[in-house]
A = this chain, B = another copy of it.
Amino acid sequence: MSEVAATGISVLLVDDHPIVRQGYRRVLESQGDLHVVAEADNAADAYGAFKTHDPDVVLMDISMPGASGLEAIRNIRARNPRARILVFTMHNEAVLVKAAFSAGASGFVTKSSAPSAVVNAIRSVARGERAMSDDIAHVLAEDSLSTGSALDQLGEREIEILRQFAGGATTEEIATHLNLSVKTVQNYHYLIKTKTGARTDAQLVRLAAACGLTKI
């Protein structure tokens, strides 16, 4: 079991931006009790690195190209249900948070959080606790009170496709990224539009932006 060793907490870093990873590594290692034992820039490598290094905590940005980060969470948890995965992303949409927790994440912090909040979250999940940043707790609280945002009715795949579409990807690019046929992506596109009530691609982009799914 990934008991926290007396030597500190071992961390696997998953983010698709090299310089961002390097920055995190330096921030974490300056803490003394945190040690980055491996890095990965995609879901498949993350799974491989987890198998070889068995880290105490996986710090993972789930908005990566290619396979969904949620997929990676599920894979890792399938291999070792004791794995502690702390999702670390700039998105703060309630649907995403709920999807991450139901995929097996132990915590969810946004990049808007103070660095100290992030390292504390790492220590919390290493102890087996659940952790989330204040803003995440806030959106979850509001979400539980509201009738539900337009995005709540979307499935995980739909969310991912909407994110990529709103980010500017073409249908073919999305199909390639997610290993789907163009036809399937087109169908999702149509489904998303009908579910959200958007009559225009532009409205879809605005919706995604309004929900924090994508930044402009």
Contacts and interface: CB of A to CB of B under 8 A. Distances in A.
Contact of A18 (B93, B112, B167, B200): B112
A63 B168 CA distance: 14
A118 B216 CA distance: 22
A111 to B, nearest CB: 4
Nearest to A25: B23
Interface stretch (A2-10, A44-52, A146-154, A203-211): A203-211
Interface centre among A111, A168, A169 (most CB of B within 10 A): A168
A127 B20 CA distance: 25
Contact of A113 (B19, B90, B201): B19
A144 interface: no
Contacts of A65: 215
A124 to B, nearest CB: 16
Nearest to A29: B26
B18 A113 contact: yes
Contact of A111 (B20, B168, B210): B20
A90 B169 CA distance: 13
Interface string A97-131: 00000000000000111110010000000000000
A114 B167 contact: no
B168 A206 contact: yes
A93 to B, nearest CB: 5
A63 B17 CA distance: 15
